Structure 1
Amino acid sequence: MTHDAHLSVTEPYIALSQFSPLTVTERGLCGVLAQWLPPPTWLIIGPVAWPVAGGAARPAPIWLLPASRTALAELPVLGEWVGMDGCWEPLIARGSVCGGLVVPDATPVAPALLDQLAPWVDVIYTRRCAARQVIWQSMLLQIKARYAAGEERSALLAEVFKACLGLTFQPATDAQALTRDALNIIGRSRPLWPDEAAFIELALAVTHPAIQQARVLGLAAAGIAHDINNLLTVILGRAQLLELDVVGDQVADLWMIESAAEIGAASARRLQRFAQLEQLPAQPVDLAAIARAAVTIAERDILRRDNIALIAEIAEQPLAAGEASLLHTALIHLIAASVQAVPHGGVIRVTSGADERFVWIEIADPGLPPNTDLQTVSAQTQRAHTIELAIARQTARVHHGHLRIMADPAGGTVTQLLIPRLHERDG
């Protein structure tokens, strides 16, 4: 068939109308185009280039895609890539360039063919980007959890970028200083496409120490604000009771205490609302595995005294619903709280359990159980309101679970972090 610049509108429309938005493929479009366009024509859809005459696809070497018809002589990257004289014909859908044709110089392309091809290219590009986003979002959740569990940052990023984007870290590169622009030159010569660049920035962010620290500080602030509000409520209540038995100037003093407690409680509630997590991306999590990883971190970074023994007897349990990185952080802080509560040493035991509603991790230590009676300021009271327990309590709250702190019948304290079982959250 001759390649006529004056194709009727009907011919390409009939050929392309055989497709469905759900099933149209790059190879299918190339098969149609081969009827009008000779080799070596290329169809570029997003970051991938397909030879119209058949053969293996190749990565597209250019971004941004030109928005107007351009001679390859003015696009040296494309000209050297295809090794021919020709031109670039953009495919525009919904006001933006979704792909294009690279055609030989002597091959005019009918505007009707471009107009009718563009929506199908846009469908494929959108569908492929959506599929990549699903895969990459899952990968981001995994690397966030693995980084929180203590894996080395540069090795983790190298593994993820190699698997997802074909990027390879240079041995001398400091992962702490990596940016999207720095990654442009690592591992490949072609540029990053917008969704690839966004994925890299998110991966760098979720594994950045400052991001993880900020989330933990948010949990701590919200948990401490909750505790302060509870303490001020007790002060306010006691002051109001004392008013019943005092006279004279003492009444004015109690009013001042009440006013200060009410103002402080209101400030604590505002801080709690400001610091709370807006949305928790709950996923199926293995709480027992997270606890084992937390024990490993604790043995390496927390237990620095020879007179403390950490014994883990963590059995397999049903899946829970939550975010692994937050749960891992909470468990590390619970172990740290137990270590602080036994300054003279002892044995800390970490176990697990489950019932029909919850999966839990239990930490038992020989320290004195918390005492929340504010008539006596004691070591027990201080233990009940540490930053570590505030973080754990807030983590339990955002997971719709509980943190239980109780006296151990055998002596000491038992702390349980209870997280809803997966079927409870999904049911």
Structure 2
Amino acid sequence: MPEWMAIYDITDMAELTSETYTNLRTAAVKSQREKDTMKQIAVDRRIFDLAGGREAKAFQPLEDLDAESAGAELVAISLSLHPGKEQELDRWYDEEHFGMISKVPGWLRSRRFVNSSIESKDRVEWLTIHEFAAKNAIGGEEHRAAASTPWAKDIMSNVVQERRRRDYRLYYTFGPAPRDLQRLPSADAVPFTSPDGKTRTIPAAQPDGPAIESYITTKDDVALPYRLEGSPDPDAPLIVLSNSILVEWGIWDGFVAAFLSAPQNRKYRVLRYSTRGRSSACGDRPVTVDVLASDVVALLDALRVPQAAAVVGVSIGGATALATALQHPARVAAFVSCDTSAKSPAGNRKTWGERIAVAEKEGARATSGESVVGEQLAELTVRRWFVSASYDGGDTEAEIARVKAMVRSNSLDGFKKS
């Protein structure tokens, strides 16, 4: 049977004893899918503290977007020692072994760990992880030499009580947000909704699949909901859609359906998201175009996309696309800015102030009690966006009603901050 290893680097080990983390293992938080999966696998969970290591000048952490990680290999060595032999092992690693292992072609980094102080220790276990590029000389002359010196043989004979080695090849690098569309076209894929309702995976067999709906959290702790769909190829070019103010990513439904219906466009992934200001939880700083551009980069980072094939935006989304391209040119191959301008007209502040006043006067509230934009401003907004001929009593008018509902339900506080 294949063996899999998942590694999580933690910057603050105290977080592993926090309620936020320990709750993840409670039945109330686990999804049914997780419960069913855990019945079918054996999990050996270990926590280690970093004890030291070395890395090559060319080393890049796997979480770096430009790291060449495909095919990377990892050698894990677990050691238990005879009592009182820790210092001898430390000296051997620091004075000989790390130096020799670093000469193995393809070597990138070696780190030593000891089982963590936050767990009870029935026995002390040392773990060394050696990381190599895809093209390497594991098992070659230099590698064999590092393990066959007189000092190495003495360590294995007189210091080490038990030694276990496992070799692994990199399979997947996780990011801060779910992005794996590759499994969703499978006939075995089933719909999934997380217990908190914030993440959904939609298989290809569903009418609006394959897709992932979830959210990212920005550096200033703002949640940005998104939908990722299109090609299941994890390296497929990505198009980012940035919407106008007062609506959410559903505004793009018709466009995305038409775009992906064309065979030549099915090579793309499409990312749309609800911009900052859709909800009242939009941070403490003013929502400027620069902030909105940083949100696009945060989305790309979270989904591990080095460069978007294009960023397409409408209205404030168009200004966001322009700002992203200007401020982060390496992250955007092309951009399209629709119905927007590079500079806000002089009268804009007064106009937006009048619109906010309309919503404040109505005083509409959602069922949650939050102040929302309401009916009056929603009606004024869609009348500006859609010409009279659009009110045809048919499909177009139904679409207007859908957009109006988006505007009506937008947070008033979020609108004012935008």
TM-score where L is the length of structure 2: 0.28
User: Greater CA radius of gyration, 1 or 2?
Assistant: 1
Q: Which has the higher helix share?
A: 1
TM-score where L is the length of structure 1: 0.28
